[in-house]
Structure formats: structure tokens, C-alpha cells
């Protein structure tokens, strides 16, 4: 893997000419999930840590959100869950257990779990806190929305804990799948937010987090994330606020 900073990425050549995958976005954001899967697959890729809403990202991908994947043949795809499922389908011959076969009952349950993670745990839980508390300066502080989001997070997570208890050691059973990077990423976000009180002492959850975070692919990508944290002032809270303001102005 090659990592390119936001400053140097704007002059990069198109992905189709590089013969490798390109993944855009900081490892501190949802791009982390895609980097993890790319490492699990042993894919040849380049990581460009460009910021969401940046001109660098727009110029390279035509989009203003991350993560974005560009394949060696120039196909562009966004949304971490879609990217990871696509990648695992693409590498199914080399890694047949990473994602269930399309059309199978297992695949239907996998898709169902991905939907719960992204629609309920993330969009209606974590993202509400980020929008109406962490970024309240931009979107307004709405404590009641955050309170209800936390309740929804805990309610949804109870069903996922039950699924893990019944089927573990991974979320979809005995095999690691792209559902796990999403779930781990959201659980870690809940730890940072102080929303982990309902699950941190559950034995299967402690075992699950230890199992996932000991995987070599996780460790490698986490090291990238730690390095980004050391320079977080470049795209931390102040930068996110500026990006959000820019986005708002563009809609006026």
C-alpha cells in the first residue's frame, strides 16, 4: 500500500493508468473500513487521504464525499459497505469466505445485517450525535435528538449482540466478513462518545473486539489511523467545520 497526503493527491494520474485500486479519504473516517478490507484481500492499492468536500477529491473522483474507490479499469464507487462487498465479490476466488455467495440465504442475511449497521446503528445513531452535538455549531445543538439517537443505538445494538452470542465468533458466524469492519468502527465510535456503557462489559463483545482488532489487517490500518491522529489538526474539528460551512454556502 502507498499512502498519499491530501496536498500531493491532486496531481495524481487517473486510477486506470496505475494498474491498482485507489481509495480516497482519511483513515480516521469511514475509509478505515475499506482500507481494512483491502488489506484483508492483499489487494494492490494506493491510499489518498484527501478530505471530504475538498477540491482535490472533486478533481480526482468527481465526488465530494469519502470513501471513494476507483478500480484499475476506472470504475468509481462510493459508500463503504458497497465498496467492501464489491471488493470481496471481485476477489471471491482467492477469498471465498469473506462474503457469502450472491443469491444464497447467507448472502440475504449478510445484506440484512449490513443494512441494520448502516441505516440504524450509524445513520440513526452515531451520525445524529456527530451532527447535533459534535458539529452543533453548524447544524444546531439538539440534545433531545441526541438522547433519542443513543436509545436507538442501544436498542439496535442489543439485537446485534444477540446475533453475535448465537452465531459468533464474528458477526455473521465463523467467518470474518465486511460486516465486521463496519461494526468495529461503529463500536469504537461509541466508545469515544461514551455510548459504550450498555455493551463494554458483555463478555462476547469483549471477545469480539479483541478477536477483530488482533487481525493483522486491522493492525496495519490502525497504524495509519494513529499516524493521521498525530496530524489531526489538518482535518480535525476545525477543518470539518470549515468544510461544512463551505457545503452550506454552496446550497444557498
Contacts of 6 (CB under 8 A, 6+ apart): 48, 49, 50, 51, 54, 56, 234, 235
Question: In which element (H, E) is residue 5 found?
Answer: strand 2-5
Contacts of 153 (CB under 8 A, 6+ apart): 121, 124, 125, 126, 190, 195
Q: Does residue 247 have a pLDDT over 50?
A: no
Q: What is the pLDDT of residues 166-187, one digit of tens each?
A: 999 999 999 999 999 999 999 9
All structural domains of the chain, each given as residue ranges with its CATH number in brackets, are: 2-97 (3.40.30.10), 105-214 (1.20.1050.10)
Give the residues across from 22 on adjacent strands: 46, 70
Q: Does residue 96 have a pLDDT over 50?
A: yes
Q: Does residue 79 have a pLDDT over 70?
A: yes
Q: Does residue 250 have a pLDDT over 50?
A: no
Secondary structure class of 18 (helix, strand, coil): coil
Alpha-carbon torsion, ordered 96, 101, 104, 106, to 10 deg:
50
pTM, two decimals, is: 0.86
Lowest mean pLDDT among 50-54, 138-142, 235-239: 235-239
Q: How confident is the model at residue 14, as a pLDDT?
A: 36
Write out the DSSP string of 34-54: HHHHHHHHT--EEEEEPPTT-
CA–CA gap between residue 181 and residue 34 (Å, rounded): 8
Amino acid at each position: 500500500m502507498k499512502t498519499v497526503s491530501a496536498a500531493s493527491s491532486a496531481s495524481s494520474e487517473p486510477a486506470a493508468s496505475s494498474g491498482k485500486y485507489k481509495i480516497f479519504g482519511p483513515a480516521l473516517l469511514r475509509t478505515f473500513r475499506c482500507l481494512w478490507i483491502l488489506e484483508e484481500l492483499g489487494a494492490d492499492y494506493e491510499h489518498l487521504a484527501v478530505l471530504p468536500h475538498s477540491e482535490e477529491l472533486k478533481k480526482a473522483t468527481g465526488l465530494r464525499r469519502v470513501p471513494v474507490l476507483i478500480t484499475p479499469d476506472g470504475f468509481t464507487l462510493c459508500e463503504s459497505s458497497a465498496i467492501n462487498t464489491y471488493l470481496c465479490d471481485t476477489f471471491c476466488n482467492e477469498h471465498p469466505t469473506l462474503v457469502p455467495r450472491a443469491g444464497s440465504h447467507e448472502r440475504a442475511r449478510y445484506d440484512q445485517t449490513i443494512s441494520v449497521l448502516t441505516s440504524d446503528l450509524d445513520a440513526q445513531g452515531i451520525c445524529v450525535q456527530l451532527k447535533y452535538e459534535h458539529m452543533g455549531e453548524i447544524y444546531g445543538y439538539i440534545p433531545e435528538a441526541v438522547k433519542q439517537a443513543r436509545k436507538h443505538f442501544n436498542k439496535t445494538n442489543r439485537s446485534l449482540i444477540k446475533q453475535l452470542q448465537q452465531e459468533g465468533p464474528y458477526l455473521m458466524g465463523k467467518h470474518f466478513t465486511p460486516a465486521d469492519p463496519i461494526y468495529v468502527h461503529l463500536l469504537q465510535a461509541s466508545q469515544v462518545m461514551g455510548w459504550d456503557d450498555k455493551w463494554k462489559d458483555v463478555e462476547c463483545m469483549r471477545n469480539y473486539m479483541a478477536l477483530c482488532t488482533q487481525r493483522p489487517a486491522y493492525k496495519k490500518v490502525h497504524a495509519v489511523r494513529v499516524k493521521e491522529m498525530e496530524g489531526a489538526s489538518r482535518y480535525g474539528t476545525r477543518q470539518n467545520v470549515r468544510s461544512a460551512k463551505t457545503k452550506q454556502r454552496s446550497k444557498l
